[in-house]
Amino acid sequence: MPTKSVSDLAKVVNSRLKRDGVVSPGVRALTELLEAIYLTSLKTEEGKPLQVRMVLVDPSNPDPDPPKPRFARPDRWKITKLADRLPLTVPNLIKLSKAADPWSSSLAVYYDSDNQFFVWGLVDQTVHFNTQLVRESSAGGYAPPGEFQVVAAGTADLSVYRDFSFVARLQQDRLLKRQNDVFWSGPVMDRLAEGINGNIEAVRQALDKRHQKEISHWETGIAGDWLSTLCRLLISIQRYRHGGALLITRSWADLGIKYKINYSRLPRALMRLWVSRVKASVASDSIGEHLDRDQDMIPALAYLDESVEEGEAEDCESEITGCVRFIASLSCVDGLVLATPDLAIRGFGVEIRTKKEVDAAYLASSPKAAEATLHKIDPSHYGTRHRSMMRYCYAHPDCLGFVISQDGEIRAMTRVGAKLIMWENLQVFSFFESDTPATKKKEALASRASSSPPPAASSHP
C-alpha cells in the first residue's frame, strides 16, 4: 500500500473546496497549513501530546450566513479576535493549542494575499458542537464557522471536516477518504441485529395495546438510538487514551472473567426511553387532533401525559449517559469488557484464553466487506490486545469484538465465512457523508419517524 503525505491530504481538501464552489488557497498553501498542524501534533508540552482544532475562516466576513435573530440561540459560537495576528508557525501553534482546548474552542486561521497563513482569533462554544458529535446531546448544534476545520487528535493524525461532513484523514502515512459506517450495513450490523431487535421487542412488550400499534413508526429511531449508544460507549473508552476492548457475545467459552458482574441497567434504560417517547408522541397526537377539530375543550390529561412522558424521557437520557460512563470506566482495568448482545455487562478485566493464532486477517475498506475491498494483513503486526481478540473472534464466529488502541483508533472485528475481517476508521461520530448509499438509506428510514422528538444524537472531541 503506497504511503501518503500531507500534500496528498491537501489535494483532497483542495478538490473538495472546488467541488463545493469555494475559493481555495491552492494545494501548495494548503500543504503548508496542514504541515504546520501535522508537525505540531508530533510535539509535546510538559510531556503531554498536543491536540489542535483549527478552522479556516475569513476575518473580513467571519459569519456570512448568520441565523435570523429569532432563531439564534445564546449558545451559538462567536469569534474573539486577537489584538495582534500571529504567523501560523509550529512554535505559535504549540503555545496556542494549550489555550485552545479542542473540546472547548478552536483557532481561527486565514491567509493573506501572499498565501501566508496567520492565526487571528479564537472560536468559543465549541463544547456544544462536540457534545453533539460524540452523541451526548440530542440538541441540534451549529456547524463550525469557516470553510473547513482540521483536527489533530493524535500524533501524526489529522482529520479534515467541512460543516458536518468528513473530508479525509491522514493517519501517519495512510490517507483515508471515507469513514467505515459499519453500524448500518454489513457483517458488523448483522452481529448487532439481535440486540437491536431485542430492544425494539422490549419496547413493544412494555407498551399497552393502544400504544403498540405505533411501534412500527419508531423502529428506525429505536435502532438509531441503540447504535448511537454503542458508539458513545466506544468513544468514551477512546477518550481515556488507555486502550481497551469490548466483546459482544453470548458465550463465555475461552474467557477468564476476573470481575463478574450483572449490569443490565443500560438495556433497561434504552427500553424505558422509547416507551416514554412513544407515549409522549401519542399524547401529542391526541392534542393535535383536538386542535384540528377546533374543539374548545382539550382533555387536561392529554397535556399531563405528554409532560410526564417527556420528563421521563429526559431522565432516561441522563440515565443512559451515566450508564455509558460507568461501563467505559471498566475498560481501564487490564482485560476486556464483556457484554451480551443487548449490551448488558457480565464482566470486566476479562482474559481471552483462546490459544490458536490466526494465520491471516483481512482489513475491509467497506462495511459489507466485499471481496474486492479486502486487504490481507499479518496479525503479528498488531499488539497483544488485537491479536487476542482476533483469536477469539475467529474461534467464535457469532461474536463481535471492538478494540480501542491507546492512540485512539477504534477497530471492529468478526469472522465472516473462513476469514477474520477487521474494520478501522469507523464512523462512530456524527459526521456524515451525505452522498453515500448508507447515508441515503438512513435518511429514507429516518423519514418514517420524522414526527418524533429527536433521538439522542450521534470526530473528534
Q: What is the CATH number for 270?
A: 3.40.1700.10
Judged by DSSP in three states, 90 sits in: helix
Residue 138 sits in the same domain as residue 213:
no
Confidence band of 295 (pLDDT split at 50, 70, 90): low
State residue 447's pLDDT score.
38
Can you give the residue range of the structural domain that contains 50? 6-176
Listed in sequence order, the residues at least 6 apart from 205 whose beta carbon sits closer than 8 Å to its beta carbon are none
Report pLDDT digits (tens) over 319-365.
999 999 999 999 999 999 999 999 999 999 999 999 999 999 999 99
Query: Based on the number of CB atoms within 10 Å of its own CB, is 255 exposed (0-12), middle (13-18) or buried (19 or more)?
Result: buried
pLDDT band at 192 (very low <50, low <70, confident <90, very high): very high
Residue 457 within a domain: no
- Render pLDDT for 376-428 as a digit per residue (tens, 0 to 9): 999 999 999 999 999 999 999 999 999 999 888 999 999 999 999 999 989 99
| Domain assignment present for 454 | no
Give yes or no for residue 459 having a pLDDT over 50.
no
340 within some domain: yes
Distance CA 2, CA 7 (A): 14
* Whether residues 289 and 417 fall in one domain: yes
Instruction: Tell me the pLDDT tens digit for each residue of 140-174.
Output: 567 889 999 999 988 899 999 998 888 999 988 88
225 and 333 belong to one structural domain = yes
* pLDDT, greater one: 434 or 281: 281
Q: Which residues pair with 80 in a beta bridge?
A: 122
Beta-strand pair 244-248/336-339: parallel
Our count of domains for the chain comes to 2
Q: Across-strand partners of 210? A: none
Whether 448 shows a pLDDT value over 80: the answer reads no
Res. 38: pLDDT tops 50: yes
CATH number of residue 154's parent domain: 3.40.1700
For residue 346, give the amino acid letter. R
Length of the chain (residues): 461
Give which of 50, 121, 57 is closest to 90, Cα–Cα. 50
C-alpha cell at 85: 495576528
Q: Does residue 218 sit in helix, strand or coil?
A: helix
Q: Are 238 and 426 in contact (CB under 8 A)?
A: no
CA separation for the pair 48, 374 (Å, rounded):
36
Higher model confidence: residue 84 or residue 127? Answer: 84
Residue type, 25: P
Handedness of CA 227, 232, 237, 239 (dihedral sign): positive
DSSP state of 373: G
- Among 127, 145, 176, residue at a domain's last position: 176
Statement to judge: residues 52 and 127 lie in one domain: yes
Within a domain: 66: yes
Secondary structure, 3-state, 321-378: HHHHHHHHHHCCCCCEEEECCCCCEEEEEEEECCCCCCCCEEEECCCCCCHHHEEEEC
Question: 262 and 153 in one domain?
Answer: no
Q: Which residue has the cell 377539530?
A: 293
Over 50: is that where the pLDDT of 460 sits?
Answer: no
Q: For residues 100 and 212, state if they share a domain.
A: no
Average pLDDT over residues 230-254: 94
How far is it, in rounded angstroms, from Cα 250 to Cα 322? 24
- All 3 cell numbers of residue 263? 449490569
In a domain, 456, yes or no: no
Read off the pLDDT band of 247 (50, 70, 90): very high
Residue 442 phi/psi, 5-degree rounding, is -65, -40
- For cell 450483572, the residue is 262
pTM, whole model, 2 decimals?
0.84
Domain boundary among 132, 147, 176: 176
Residue 182 lies in a domain: no
Distances in Å between the alpha carbon of 244 and those of 295, 331, 401? Answer: 58, 5, 11
Do residues 213 and 341 share a domain?
A: yes
> Which one-letter amino acid corresponds to residue 301?
L
What span, in angstroms and rounded, lies between the C-alpha atoms of 170 and 4?
A: 8
* Per-residue pLDDT, 431: 64
- Give the type of residue at 290: H
Share of the chain above pLDDT 90, in %: 65
In a domain, 269, yes or no: yes
Let me know whether 154 and 28 are in one domain.
Answer: yes
> How far apart are the C-alpha atoms of 155 and 405, rounded to whole Å?
13
> Mean per-residue pLDDT for 88-114?
92
Q: Which of 142, 176, 210 is at the close of a domain? A: 176
Residue 135 and residue 79 share a domain: yes
Please compute the mean of the pLDDT values over residues 119-125 and round it to a whole number: 94
Which one, of 242, 268, 34, 8, lies nearest residue 158 by Cα? 34
Strand partners, 148: 56
Cα–Cα distances in angstroms (integers) from residue 152 to residues 97, 102, 115, 170, in the given order: 10, 9, 22, 10
Angle at alpha carbon of residue 423, lines to 422 and 424, rounded to 5°: 130
Higher per-residue confidence, 437 vs 192: 192
Is residue 70 very low, low, confident or very high in pLDDT (cuts 50, 70, 90)?
Answer: confident
pLDDT band at 136 (very low <50, low <70, confident <90, very high): confident
Q: Is residue 260 part of a domain?
A: yes
DSSP state of 213: T
Question: Is the per-residue pLDDT at 292 higher than 90?
Answer: no
Residues 387 and 345 in one domain: yes
Is there a single domain that holds both residue 358 and residue 439? yes
Amino acid in the structure at residue 215: I
Please indicate, yes or no, whether residues 71 and 212 belong to a single structural domain of this protein: no
Alpha helix positions (H), 177-218: 187-206, 209-212
